[in-house]
């Protein structure tokens, strides 16, 4: 799962003060993590948390990372390199799955990285 420690959902937290927001945010993520961990262990699996950095900016087809490919208003990701299109949350989920696959393959701290010219980069260390 994405490491959501510093992420907030404004819809649920808008009418609360900052202390309440932090408590609710921490508790919600804690509950979600505990529930997923419990369910995963039931089937012999494991929950890992990965860096969310660039997960909504990386093209799942060609690997290009480019911030402008994601349109926040329409929630549409369109790769300016290969033309791949999908919902931006779906793209984020696909990249989180990729990071999990890298973890299973032995990379203990999988992260997406951007090259200087924004060309696809190798995901291996």
Only one of the segments 25-33, 44-52, 73-81, 115-123 lies at the binding site for Zn ion (rule: CB under 5 A); that segment is 73-81
The nearest distance, CB 60 to Zn ion, in angstroms, is: 8
DSSP 109: S
Q: Which is nearer to Zn ion, 69 or 96 (CB)?
A: 69
Cβ neighbours of 100 (radius 10 Å): 17
Which helix (DSSP H) or strand (DSSP E) does residue 68 occupy?
Answer: none
- Taking CA atoms, 21 is separated from 12, 28, 35, 90, 121, in Å, by 9, 10, 21, 27, 38
Q: Which is nearer to Zn ion, 64 or 70 (CB)?
A: 64
> Is position 85 an interface residue for Zn ion (rule: CB under 5 A)?
no
Q: Which residues pair with 85 in a beta bridge?
A: 78
Q: Which is nearer to Zn ion, 41 or 71 (CB)?
A: 71
Of 82, 89, 101, 119, which lies in the binding site for Zn ion, with binding defined by CB under 5 A? 82
The nearest distance, CB 41 to Zn ion, in angstroms, is: 36
- Tallying the residues shown for the chain, one arrives at 125
* Interface size with Zn ion, residues (CB under 5 A): 8
Map residue 58 onto helix, strand or coil. Answer: strand
Interface residues with Zn ion (CB under 5 A)?
59, 61-62, 64, 79, 81-82, 84
């Amino acid at each position: 799962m994405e490491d959501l420690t510093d992420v907030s959902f404004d819809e649920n937290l808008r009418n609360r003060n900052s202390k309440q927001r932090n408590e609710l945010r921490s508790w919600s993520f804690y509950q979600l993590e505990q529930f997923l961990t419990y369910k995963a262990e039931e089937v012999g699996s494991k929950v890992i948390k990965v860096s969310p950095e660039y997960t909504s900016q990386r093209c799942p087809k060609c690997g290009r990372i480019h911030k402008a490919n994601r349109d926040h208003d329409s929630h549409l990701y369109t790769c300016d390199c290969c033309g791949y299109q999908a919902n931006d949350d779906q793209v984020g989920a696909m990249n989180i799955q990729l990071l999990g696959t890298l973890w299973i393959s032995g990379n203990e701290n999988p992260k997406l990285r951007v090259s200087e010219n924004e060309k696809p980069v190798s995901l291996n260390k």
